[in-house]
Amino acid sequence: MFRSIIAVLVALIVGAVAIIGNLFNFFRPPEPPPVTTTTITASTDAPTTSSTTSTTQEPEPNPIPVFSIAIHGIGPAQIIFNNDIAFAAGLEIVTMESTRNNNANPPVGTVETVTGLRLRDILHHVGLNLVTLETTSRLTIGTADNRPVIYGHDLFTDVDTILAWKVEGADGTITNLTTPRMFPKEARANMFPSQVTSLTLTRIPAFSITVDIGDGPVAFTNENVFAANMNIVVQPSRMIATPPREPETRTYTGVALRDILEYAGVDLTEIPDLATLSVNTYDNRPVELSYVKFMASTTLLSWFEDRNNDGNINVLTRPRIALEDDSAGLFAQHVINLTLNFNP
């Protein structure tokens, strides 16, 4: 009897242990799946991949030597243009051959190879509209040694006019300029200003005269020329001097006297054939022009003079009279007044 009881108790204990074990397995989290390691052997034909290392690139050095020039006449204020601005703007650096003529040192026709920037590119970058720019405009190139040169429109807008900092001579000698120099493609030696420090655009220089058409003198200035959109003329003028001097042909820029009279209020159709125009000058050397002379569209009040017809322009401190072809005595200088005489 006692053994039977013991056997039952043992059976109950074993059963309980089994039940507890099953419960433990039920609540235990599942085992993770086995990890399979695969070894891949790359063939010699497999593409290789290079690792990328992040590095800071150095900025590209500026190949243009240090320079700075002041530009006037394009905007309301002075504009500074320098090598850093040129480099940042990506202006093209060009190399070309340039020939200087009519000079003893270097010899006549010396060819040099120069490196620099196109002058027209510089002017365009600072805001000059080369398309609408008047062909009568002029550019004064200022220099450190106070020897300015004035370029005509065709010369300073030419694609082969260079502001250069490097010059290679015919013998191969290279000169690096500390201050840039202007080099046209081919010109007289005095058209190569060195030590360039400034550029000044002049459409019409400041001047003031009076015009009297019978009602008293009234002012006429360069501002009136622009405001009235008057026709500006560029023409050759043959100045006949007293023998033995030979006639000279120069090029003048200005407005026709007849246009000035019309602006002042004169009806040109009512001017009698016997009328004259008195031209009074600062140095008190008046000139009397006949009707045929002052009514000609080729008789100008001029402010620009090109004596050699080579693009080297003189800006006249006071305007002068320029005729197409006549005695030098009628080319009155330093004009201060025009007086129309209906009944001389």
Token couple for 51: 């690792």
C-beta of residue 204 within 8 angstroms of C-beta of residue 224: no
Say if pTM beats, i.e. exceeds, 0.85.
no
Domain ranges of the chain: 68-202, 208-341
- Residue 334: CB atoms within 10 Å: 15
- Provide the pLDDT confidence category of residue 114 given band limits of 50, 70 and 90: very high
Strand order in the sheet with 149-152: 79-82, 68-72, 196-202, 138-143, 149-152
Residue 48 has pLDDT above 60, yes or no: no
State which fold the 68-202 domain adopts. Sulfite Oxidase; Chain A, domain 2 (3.90.420)
In order of 90, 339, 342, the CA distances from 290 in angstroms are: 57, 12, 11
Q: State pLDDT tens for residues 247-292.
A: 889 999 899 999 999 999 999 999 999 999 999 999 999 999 999 9
The pLDDT of 234-240, averaged and rounded, is 89
C-beta of residue 101 within 8 angstroms of C-beta of residue 228: no
Domains 68-202 and 208-341 share a fold: yes
The pLDDT of 59-67, averaged and rounded, is 91
- Provide the pLDDT confidence category of residue 137 given band limits of 50, 70 and 90: confident
Prior bond of 59 cis (ω within 30°): no
C-beta of residue 252 within 8 angstroms of C-beta of residue 241: no
State which fold the 208-341 domain adopts. Sulfite Oxidase; Chain A, domain 2 (3.90.420)
In order of 35, 36, 42, the CA distances from 39 in angstroms are: 13, 10, 10
DSSP string, 275-302: -EEEEEETTS--EEEEHHHHTSTT-EEE
Q: State pLDDT tens for residues 278-330.
A: 999 999 999 999 999 999 999 999 998 888 777 778 888 899 999 999 898 89
Can you state the percent helix, strand and coil of the chain, rounding each to 5?
20, 35, 40
| Closest alpha carbon to 162 in 149, 180, 142, 138 | 180
Greatest Cα pair distance in the chain:
173
Q: Chain-wide mean pLDDT for the chain?
A: 85
Q: Return the minimum-mean-pLDDT range out of 7-11, 157-161, 331-335.
A: 7-11
Looking up tokens 């060009």, which residue turns up? 94
Which has more pLDDT, 89 or 21? 89
Share of the chain above pLDDT 70, in %: 81
